[in-house]
Amino acid sequence: MACRYVLSSQHRPDISPTERTHKVIAVVNKMVSMMEGVIQEVDQVDQKQKNIAGALAFWMANASELLNFIKQDRDLSRITLDAQDILAHLVQMAFKYLVHCLQSELNNCMPAFLDDPEENSLQRPKIDDVLHTLTGAMSLLRRCRVNAALTIQLFSQLFHFINMWLFNRLVTDPDSGLCSHYWGAIVRQQLGHIEAWAEKQGLELAADCHLSRIVQATTLLTMDKYAPDDIPNINSTCFKLNSLQLQALLQNYHCAPDEPFIPTELIENVVAVAENTADELARSDGRDVQLEEDPDLQLPFLLPEDGYSCDVVRNIPNGLQEFLDPLCQRGFCRLIPHARSPGTWTIHFEGADNESHLVRENTELAQPLRKEPEVITVTLKKQNGMGLSIVAAKVGAQESHPSPPDHGSAWSGLVGQVFCCLHGQCLFSSASGEGSVLCVRSHCDTGRSLRDKLLL
């Protein structure tokens, strides 16, 4: 807002366009410099402090939002190229620091996957501790309104960390006894809790991809591998594992007392097939064939192109004016109302349809005031999960609209309250006693439908 104001003729009408451009560049560079100092300072703080993850998530979200604003703005984008490069680097650095911070928290809980149910130790971490860490990370990212694409990339890193930590312990410590049917079943069961959590968050694809090697390793430990007929099934099921990894898992396998030994010929045949399939695929992708999983996920960091807050925010967000009031009172800034503003934050973006905004605005001004609240019907159809794989919402054109409730009805007592939640996430809430009636229909797994009306 400050940059757009400096660009406008309302700010210092007497200065030249060149001076105006220099002032805008100075404003942007000042903001970027402050963000750079904060992010670098946060990284130098003791990683054990609980608030470091929150600070990194906060500044990563704000830096990415600011970068999107100036990058998409049709005027600012051409004069802030240096600032854009610095901001892109800052987002990546904040992401890297946040990943390390969350991996450190996760590392303390990882022994939970190797918790022997027969020992019942109260001091060892439990799988609930791992889930609590993941849930805390997701809550933090949502609270800071981190872009969904960044959230997916971050959890891909965390799932890879779980995969790497467990897999490397299986293949590098032959004397641990972990390469056995018993431990394969235990680890697979614990991984099932992670997969279930990921599905609820809409992260099932990321989990399936980055947990695949440890999942296939546990499958190998628990499947039949004693006869030549088992070879095709092993290679088709464990296709992600290369020849070195298959050889280590099979040669280090600890048979149970009532379990037959794995024939040496079977191991050789399984390894030979993997050399011609998984190994060749790895080499064609430019990857080395190695025993251990790489600690770092070899994927480039990608800045999201869309999905930012400005795409969904309309008008002045709640709390913004209250936040700026102390600054206005001290003379640091002032708010200039724009009576005919369409309320969109992307109006100055490259390719924005400004004419449609003006047409819509003039149409709304020409319409007489409605005596009754407008009825809007929203249909939500749940498929697999509610998180980042968000459900589709559409207006039910064929539905008959119910009559709005009376102001004196019982519903009016709910004004100002959250009234629709799925999986603990608020979908809609009311903020005042005037407005329109919102009808929500939620199609649940049980086949039942819920329709409620509320006067907003």
Tens-place pLDDT, residues 277-303? 999 999 999 999 999 999 999 889 999
Q: Is the pLDDT of residue 190 over 70?
A: yes
Query: Do residues 79 and 163 make contact, with C-beta atoms less than 8 angstroms apart?
Result: no
Q: CA 354, CA 347: separation in Å to the nearest integer?
A: 6
Nearest alpha-carbon partner for 307 in 110, 101, 146 = 146
Summarize pLDDT for 404-416 with one digit per residue, the tens: 444 333 333 333 3
pLDDT at residue 88, as a whole number: 96
Angle between helices 81-109 and 17-44 (to 10 degrees): 20
* Lookup: tokens for 193: 């809790």
Nearest to 237 by CA among 260, 212, 254: 212
Which amino acid is residue 402, in one-letter code? Answer: P
Res 15 pLDDT > 70: yes
- How far, in Å, CA of 326 to CA of 378, rounded? 39
Half-sphere exposure of 315 (CA within 13 A, CB side): 3
Inform me whether the pLDDT recorded for 99 exceeds 90: yes
Encoded tokens for 64: 């990415």
Burial of 167 (0-12, 13-18, 19+ CB in 10 A): buried
Better-scored residue on pLDDT, 397 or 26: 26
CB environment 112-139: b (16+ within 10 A), e (fewer):
bbbeeeeeeeeeebebebbbebbeebbe
CA distance to 27, 32, 111, 184, per residue, from 254 (Å): 66, 57, 21, 11
pTM, to two decimals? 0.76
Q: What is the mean pLDDT of the chain?
A: 80
The DSSP element (H or E) to which 425 belongs, if any, is: strand 425-429
100-114, 359-373, 428-442: least confidently modelled range: 428-442
